[in-house]
Structure 1
Amino acid sequence: MKLNQVLSKAFIFLKKNKALVTLLILVDFVFILMHCFLLWNIIDYNLNFSIEKDLGYAEFYQYLKEFGILSLLLYLFYKQKQLIYLVWAIIFLYLLLDDSLSIHENYGFYLADYLNIQPKFNLRPEDFGELLFFAFFAFLFFISIVFAFLKADLKGKLITKKLFLLFLILAFFGICIDLFHIVIPYGKNQLALIEDGGEMVVMSFIFVYVFSFYYSEKVL
């Protein structure tokens, strides 16, 4: 697909869902702005305003979006009886649990210790452990998506293609930028802002897309 076609479809998507996109992105930027105010000492020091803080205000908002996406996908599975929706629901369930329980951080540490991984390229042993953990689950999820995709109807394939693209963008912020954040010895605050802020914005777009698909199917 040509770039102008992609941009055209993206514009149509945003236009149709302008109100919801605006609302979610606005809330994202409020949290991002509060995080910046915290870094600049404009507001009283409260880690709950940091978008990096687990179980902080911004993270809780992210959990709500993930739970919303999960719920919509489960309902689509219930109504459409298509395995692909269940697979995507499981993926977002994993994301929700991982974000709230720090699963990949904990198991990454255990893997690094068990395999006796040594630090390299400015990466800690647990960073390599986390990458191995991600790779394992990425492989499982990819195989599951391919299997379900082959059995899906046209609508299931459509949502999968777009969700997969959005998921890759999410992974770029969550994994690639996170690695840059660790490896690069300067600009830590800026990279953390790009990483977590990017994840928030992309998750908002995923929620809007899944909700718009859900609504267009008239399953309310």
Structure 2
Amino acid sequence: MQIAAMVKEVPAVLREVLFAPALSTIALIILPYVGVIIGLDVASRYGDITGQALPAQFFVSQDWSFGETLEYSVMTATSVMLFLMWRRDRSPIYLVNAVLFAYLTIDNAVEIHEAFGFWIAPTLEMVLPANLPMDAHYFGEPLLFVAVGLVWLVGLALSLRQSRPRPIINSLLLVGCIFMAAFFGIVVDAATDWGPHTVARTDIEAFIEDGGEFVMIIVSFFLTTAMYDIEKRRAKALDAGAFAELKAAA
């Protein structure tokens, strides 16, 4: 019954999210800055290829660069909005995604996956074939992401029965963004580190990796902003209707 109700509700929810006023408003605020950041990243990579070094803060992948600082901000905001949506709606699927974005924000800022990769590298060196075209710690980093992803997927599965159709549909949009970000962050990242590379090839592949991940994080933030605004308005409308009914009954 819930599956049928959810499928029936998908078109309406998608229209609401994609045409939400909050989505266009936040896009007008953030997209100009996003464009500047991507332009600076392109310039810095071109400078890297031509030997004209530009400030490290121009690189999207650099810790605490202009791009990464924006990522920290929007990922934190996404986590907070999802948490508040859970508080209002009590559908646990919102909480599962809020915890994931909170973890990813922390990992992005302090590089937990990189530290894990170096920590497990000696163990991996004993089991991996020799002379691989990639250092052992690069194999360790995605292992942590896979473990976190499995915990997240289990949480999603357990939360489905206790969540209403609208939160499930909203969360599926974010799930798609997360999988795409994981593709850039794991698969494309592995291609970037695999084997010998020229400077130009490294910069091109790194731009695809970092740029793709960056865009999916921004898209997740935009969608969550639209969802948050829609659900907040719906909650207010429902509360106003309930109050009017109580007042009429009195």
**TM-score (normalised: structure 1):** 0.87
Q: Report the alpha carbon displacement of residue 162 of structure 1 after superposing the two structures with TM.
A: 1.1
Q: Report the alpha carbon displacement of residue 190 of structure 1 after superposing the two structures with TM.
A: 0.8
Counterpart selection for 1:151 from 148, 159, 162: 162
Q: Higher mean Cα deviation, 147-156 or 33-42?
A: 33-42
User: Over alpha carbons, which structure has the higher Rg?
Assistant: 2
- Percentage of pairs with the same residue: 22
Q: Which residue does 1:142 correspond to in 2?
A: 153
Note if contact 1:72-1:211 (Cα within 8 Å) is conserved in structure 2.
yes
Q: Higher mean Cα deviation, 34-43 or 55-64?
A: 34-43
Q: Which one-letter code corresponds to 2:18 in the other structure? A: F
Q: Which residue does 2:90 correspond to in 1?
A: 81
> What RMSD, in angstroms, separates the aligned Cα atoms of the two structures?
2.6
Higher RCO structure, 1 or 2 (CA under 8 Å, sep 6+): 2
What is the alpha-carbon distance in structure 1 between the residues aligned to residue 28 and residue 203 of structure 2? 26
Q: Report the secondary structure of 2:125's partner residue.
A: coil
Q: Map of 1:82-161 to 2, 5 A cutoff? A: 82-117=91-126, 118=128, 121-161=132-172
Q: Report the alpha carbon displacement of residue 130 of structure 1 after superposing the two structures with TM.
A: 1.2
Deviations 1:35-63 (A, max 9, x none): 22223349873111111211111100110
Note if contact 1:107-1:129 (Cα within 8 Å) is conserved in structure 2.
yes
Structure 1 alignment gaps of length 5 or more: none
Aligned length: 214
Q: Which residue does 1:39 correspond to in 2?
A: 45
**TM-score (normalised: structure 2):** 0.77
Note if contact 1:21-1:204 (Cα within 8 Å) is conserved in structure 2.
no
Note if contact 1:149-1:156 (Cα within 8 Å) is conserved in structure 2.
no
Note if contact 1:149-1:160 (Cα within 8 Å) is conserved in structure 2.
no
Note if contact 1:14-1:21 (Cα within 8 Å) is conserved in structure 2.
no
| Residue 205 in structure 1 maps to residue 219 in structure 2 | yes
Q: Which one-letter code corresponds to 2:118 in the other structure? A: F
Q: Report the alpha carbon displacement of residue 177 of structure 1 after superposing the two structures with TM.
A: 1.1
Counterpart selection for 1:27 from 8, 24, 33: 33
Q: 1:25 to 1:171 in 2, by over 3 A?
A: farther
Q: Which one-letter code corresponds to 2:216 in the other structure? A: V
| Residue 195 in structure 1 maps to residue 209 in structure 2 | yes
Q: Which one-letter code corresponds to 2:115 in the other structure? A: N
